[in-house]
Amino acid sequence: YQCRPGAAGAVEPLPAPAPPAPEIATEEEVTTAAASPIEEKEEEEVEVAVLGKDLPAVVLPPAAEENCDQGDISRIITKDDWEDLFPYRNDPACKSSKNPDGSQIAGGFYEYDDFVAAARRFPCFLGSGSDDDKKKEAAAFLAQISHETTGGWATAPGGAQSWGLCWKEEVGCETGNCAQYCAAGDPCAAAGEDASCPCASGKTYHGRGPMQLSWNYNYEPAGRALGVDLLAEPERITQDPDLAFSTAMYFWMSPRGNKPSAHSVMMGTWEPTAQDVAAGRTPGFGTTTNIINGGLECGIDNDYRVEDRVLYYERYTQYLGVEAGDNLRCSDQRSF
Q: Which amino acids are annotated catalytic?
A: 148
DSSP string for 130-175: -HHHHHHHHHHHHHHHHHHT----TT-TT-GGG--S--SB-TT-TT
- Contacts of 165 by beta carbon, 8 Å cutoff, 6+ apart: 86, 89, 94, 96, 110, 145, 146, 149, 210
- Contacts of 261 by beta carbon, 8 Å cutoff, 6+ apart: 252, 253, 254, 255, 270, 291
- Contacts of 93 by beta carbon, 8 Å cutoff, 6+ apart: 24, 25, 26, 27, 29, 30, 31, 151, 166
Q: Residue type for 275, please?
A: Q
User: 10 Å Cβ neighbour count for 195?
Assistant: 15
On whether the CB atoms of residues 181 and 205 are closer than 8 A, the answer is: yes
Separation CA 136–CA 139 (nearest Å): 5
Separation CA 323–CA 147 (nearest Å): 20
On whether the CB atoms of residues 142 and 85 are closer than 8 A, the answer is: yes
Separation CA 329–CA 312 (nearest Å): 12
Among 290, 301, 233, smallest CA distance to 261 is for: 290
